[in-house]
Amino acid sequence: MFEFLKKIIKKDSPEKKPAAKKEVVKKPQKKSTPAPAQKVTNAPKLPEKKKALKTERPIKSTPKVIDKKPIEIKKEEKKSGFFSFADKIKKGLTKTREKLTAELTTLFTGKKIDESLFEELETILLTSDVGISATTFLLDSIRNSVKKNNIENADEIKGLLKEKLLQLLTPIENPLVLNGTYPFVIMVVGVNGAGKTTTIGKLTKIFLDENKSVLIAAGDTFRAAATEQLQVWGERNNVHVVSQASGDPSAVIFDAINSAKAKNIDIVIADTAGRLPTQKHLIDEITKIKRVINKCHSEAPHEILLVLDANTGQNAISQLKIFNEALGITGLALTKLDGTAKGGVIAAIAKEHPTPLRYIGVGESIDDLKVFNAQEYVDALF
Ligand SMILES: Nc1nc2c(ncn2[C@@H]2O[C@H](COP(=O)(O)OP(=O)(O)OP(=O)(O)O)[C@@H](O)[C@H]2O)c(=O)[nH]1
Ligand SMILES: [Mg+2]
């Protein structure tokens, strides 16, 4: 409801640039610890010169700063504001829900609870990418409850499945909380095409809506047109994108962080080139980027966000393992849940490699990134 009101306020405002927003309705943060003292939340996006003098480190080279241009927000993006948070997730998970609903309805209607019913349920879960170990956990938990409560009606298994899934997913519901260190540096990593750059664009919007200032670092100096793609997202959000022609991602990100320090920017989000976890030299390169970021601030990067494409299914787990070994992944963004019927991969992550799932991507538009909430997710599935 608060989201709904917020969108209405935004729509009625003559000025649509995020920086101009005055009315901010804080989202209730379910499990977050009280936020530490933070800077004035409605600080201007471009601080005055006086503040800039406070910088601890001189900027090594002048970063290329993209001109701010107001951009027209697409009609469909405006309309999406009228969906509630939960509706958006429901809509995004349509494919997975339709598959599950159809299969579970057929499974439970007029059936008695026996071993063949559990076998069929196992197949449904495995084909939704829940993975072997999470499937085993869910089936064992359901079997125990059926026995303990003398359940005879197969219809009741659906409710049990929902309950056990929620139990499995709740521990990885762990939203990103800024720890009061500024600039807060987020390094975004993942395989090619996982949705890193798009997620950065959407994430920037989330932070701007919370009245934080953001600087984006174009750390993908490898792929042709990667910087331009990021600049489009920068323009959509009306934030600066720092890029360099040097070709060295570490240098670009280093300069961006120092520029953010000088300008009192709250958050730096660094894009990086897509890489396969099997490409050892590229994994070595990204560990170097992390070391260089760490030289800017002993706690940075504060968040190493691994972006996973939900379509990759069980392969997402092996990506998570290898990126985690190399970098120490602190959070996940699971993208493209709208494009797959295999939304069960979240359960596999929760069971096999529990890692805070910060965000889920449910579409390509700027408003299609949501803070992960286990209850909302389970409700959207059934
Ligand atoms: N449907 C859908 N598409 C998405 C989502 N997130 C990203 N995409 C699309 O996935 C494609 C790849 O996204 P990018 O953001 O370029 O991925 P990337 O990881 O930066 O790719 P590289 O830089 O090449 O490694 C684009 O077409 C995006 O629009 C999502 O949540 N849903
Ligand atoms: Mg990219």
Each residue's pLDDT tens digit, 13-30: 433 334 333 333 333 333
The amino acid at residue 161 is: L
Q: Which residue has the higher pLDDT, 328 or 296?
A: 328
Say how far apart CA 346 and CA 138 lie, in whole Å: 13
Give the single-character DSSP code of 113.
Answer: -
The kind and range of the H/E element at 305 are strand 303-309
Mean pLDDT of 210-216: 97
How many helices (H) and strands (E) the chain has is answered by 15, 9
State the virtual CA torsion across 279, 282, 291, 218 in degrees, nearest 10: -140
* Per-residue model confidence (pLDDT) at position 83: 54
Q: What is the pLDDT of residues 128-141, one digit of tens each?
A: 889 999 999 999 99
* Per-residue model confidence (pLDDT) at position 109: 80
Place of tokens 């499974």: 107
User: What's the mean per-residue pLDDT of the chain?
Assistant: 81
Give the single-character DSSP code of 271.
Answer: -
Ligand 1 atom with the shortest distance to the CA of 229: 16
Asked whether 286 and 275 are in contact (CB, 8 A), the reply is: yes
* Per-residue model confidence (pLDDT) at position 102: 85
Asked whether 307 and 194 are in contact (CB, 8 A), the reply is: yes
Phi–psi pair at 363, nearest 5 degrees: 160, 175
pLDDT at 213 over 90: yes
pLDDT at 10 over 90: no
Compute the 3-state secondary structure of the chain and give helix, strand, coil in percent, each to the nearest 5. 50, 10, 40
Q: Which of 1-10, 34-43, 155-164 has the lowest average pLDDT?
A: 34-43
CA atoms within 13 A on the CB side of 215: 31
Band of residue 343 on the pLDDT scale cut at 50, 70, 90: confident
Query: How many angstroms does the Cα of residue 274 sit away from the middle of ligand 2?
Result: 7
What is the share, in percent, of the chain residues with pLDDT greater than 90?
Answer: 59
109: alpha, beta or left? (left if phi > 0; alpha if psi -120 to 50): beta
pLDDT at 101 over 80: yes
What is the share, in percent, of the chain residues with pLDDT greater than 70?
Answer: 78
Say how far apart CA 161 and CA 145 lie, in whole Å: 10
Residue with CA nearest ligand 1 atom 13: 195
Band of residue 99 on the pLDDT scale cut at 50, 70, 90: confident
Q: What is the pLDDT of residues 280-304, one digit of tens each?
A: 889 999 999 999 999 988 899 999 9
Asked whether 45 and 213 are in contact (CB, 8 A), the reply is: yes
Q: Which residue has the higher pLDDT, 246 or 51?
A: 246
Query: How many angstroms does the Cα of residue 204 sit away from the middle of ligand 2?
Result: 15
Say how far apart CA 266 and CA 114 lie, in whole Å: 57
pLDDT at 64 over 70: no
Q: Which residues line ligand 1 (CB under 6 A)?
A: 190, 192-198, 220, 223, 226, 274, 335-336, 338-339, 361-364, 368
Q: Which residues make beta-bridge pairs with 270?
A: 187, 217
The kind and range of the H/E element at 161 are helix 156-169
* Per-residue model confidence (pLDDT) at position 130: 92
Q: What is the pLDDT of residues 251-273, one digit of tens each?
A: 999 999 999 999 999 999 999 99
Q: Which residue has the higher pLDDT, 83 or 33?
A: 83
Nearest to 154 by CA among 162, 146, 166: 146
Which ligand has an atom closest to residue 194 CA? 1
Say how far apart CA 104 and CA 122 lie, in whole Å: 11
**Distance from CA of residue 227 to its chain's centroid?**
21
* Per-residue model confidence (pLDDT) at position 152: 87
Mean pLDDT of 120-125: 94
Phi–psi pair at 112, nearest 5 degrees: -100, 155
Nearest to 155 by CA among 206, 193, 100, 111: 111
| Burial status of residue 240 (CB atoms within 10 A of its CB: 0-12, 13-18, 19 or more) | buried
Q: What is the pLDDT of residues 164-193, one digit of tens each?
A: 999 999 999 999 999 888 999 999 999 999
Q: Which residue has the higher pLDDT, 382 or 349?
A: 349
